[in-house]
Amino acid sequence: MADYFKWSFNPYLLFLLIVAVFSLVRFKLTIYAEKMVYEILLVNKSIIKKKILPIHINQMKFIRVGWAQKAAIIKVKKGINVRLVVLEPPKAYDHLIEFATIHDIPIAKTKDYLILERMKKFSD
Residue 109, domain CATH: 2.30.29.30
Does residue 70 form part of some domain? yes
Does residue 6 form part of some domain? no
pLDDT of residue 22: 85
Q: Which residues of the chain have pLDDT under 50?
A: none
Does residue 2 form part of some domain? no
Q: What is the largest CA-CA distance in the chain?
A: 75
Does residue 4 form part of some domain? no
Q: Cα separations (Å) of 60 from 21, 76, 107?
A: 30, 9, 5
* Domain carrying residue 33: 11-123
pLDDT of residue 13: 82
Does residue 82 form part of some domain? yes
Does residue 5 form part of some domain? no
Q: How many helices (H) and strands (E) does the chain have?
A: 3, 7
Cβ neighbors of 20 (< 8 A, separation 6 or more) are none
Does residue 3 form part of some domain? no
User: What is this structure's pTM?
Assistant: 0.79
pLDDT of residue 8: 63
pLDDT of residue 124: 61
pLDDT of residue 95: 94
Mean pLDDT of the chain: 88
8 Å CB contact between 64 and 70: yes
Domain tally, the chain: 1
Strands in 36-42's sheet, in edge-to-edge order, are 25-31, 36-42, 45-52
